Structure 1
Amino acid sequence: MSNAIISRISGSVVVATGIEEAQMFDVVRIGDLGLLGEIIRLEGNKATIQVYEDTTGLRPGEKIVNTKRPLSIQLGPGLLTSIYDGIQRPLDVLRNKSGDFISRGIFIPALDQQKKWEFVPTKKNGESVSQGEIIGEVQETPLIKHKIMIPYGIHGQLLEIKEGKYTVNENVAKVRTKSSTMVDIGLSNWWTVRIPRPVSRKL
């Protein structure tokens, strides 16, 4: 159980003590409202945190929870037809949930977690695949086809690929890597925002 608490507050910057197993740029939830923040400095068991929401009302002694993952975005069907704020919360859903003014600490998934998308494979079982290769498509809108690709760092043989309707969190394929590790491929994947997306060539 985490014993991290707020020890000092200065505007949008918070200092936490008692934070364990933390790394630079880990995302944390701060205080009773669960405000979103990011660790920007570590010194012993102290962490300096940049808070991305209004800190009014925060008090020393309130708890801090480390998610132990960096600030990341979810990439998948529905992304191209949505409008987001700076931390990938869909603005239309935010307005429906909290009105014209965004409530502090509110969490909304970036992509619709319930909607099922029709996935059409463009690869077959047994084919060799590597990072960035397109293995199928989702018709996101009448004009937009969303390409489903092999995630970065994955190389191997496509053992299974399934046509059908899936949510963004369901798996549509399975790859056996060169080290014989089995990797599930879904309609969506997560990417750390501070790492540039690799490209084979620039247009």
Structure 2
Amino acid sequence: MTATGTALIATGDTGGPPLRPLPDRAVALLAAVSAPPRLVAHLRAVHDVAAELVTWVQRHCPQLEFDAEAVLFGAATHDIGKSVHPAELSGPGAEHEETGRQLLLTHGVPDRLARFAGTHAAWTAPGIGVEDLLVSLADKIWKNRRVPELEDLVVARLTGADGRAVWQWFMELDEALTTLGEGADRRLAYQMSHPVARR
């Protein structure tokens, strides 16, 4: 796919659900690796949900310190390794995770940002930060997939930040994720409207 084609999917009018444009740096990286159209569309959908989650956390738990820009960059690039392993765009596989991290490092992305390519499916691994959890959560909620274990880890971070009861945070997060999940059908349709193969 050409750089122009990547930019159109990454930043142009979606013609469907209103999705935020991907960050310029992510757009440039996706163009550099000739990311398939469906991958760019997927990353845009996940990035949009991540932005909603970031705004929600900042509004509801301002005591929780995290790098919002890192979350947004991570969501915008977490599956970049699928440009090397395109079969994983339509089927299972985890080869894209480490491949994606290495690809980002090769293109000059610092490890603190490249890590999301490897951690978005490893939310129980040691050293996982709240940023990693939010990218992982966005990667599930964009298609309305609920993962109790992951959500419990996010609730624990929220509880630890402001001391409110676990059940209160569980209820608040559940409500927010239910609302976000309502847009899943439109996001899935948007992603599926783009071909897996590069043009």
| Same fold at TM > 0.5 | no
Structure with a larger share of its residues in helix = 2
Q: Greater relative contact order (Cα 8 A, min sep 6): structure 1 or 2?
A: 2
Question: With structure 2 as the length reference, what TM-score do the two structures score?
Answer: 0.32
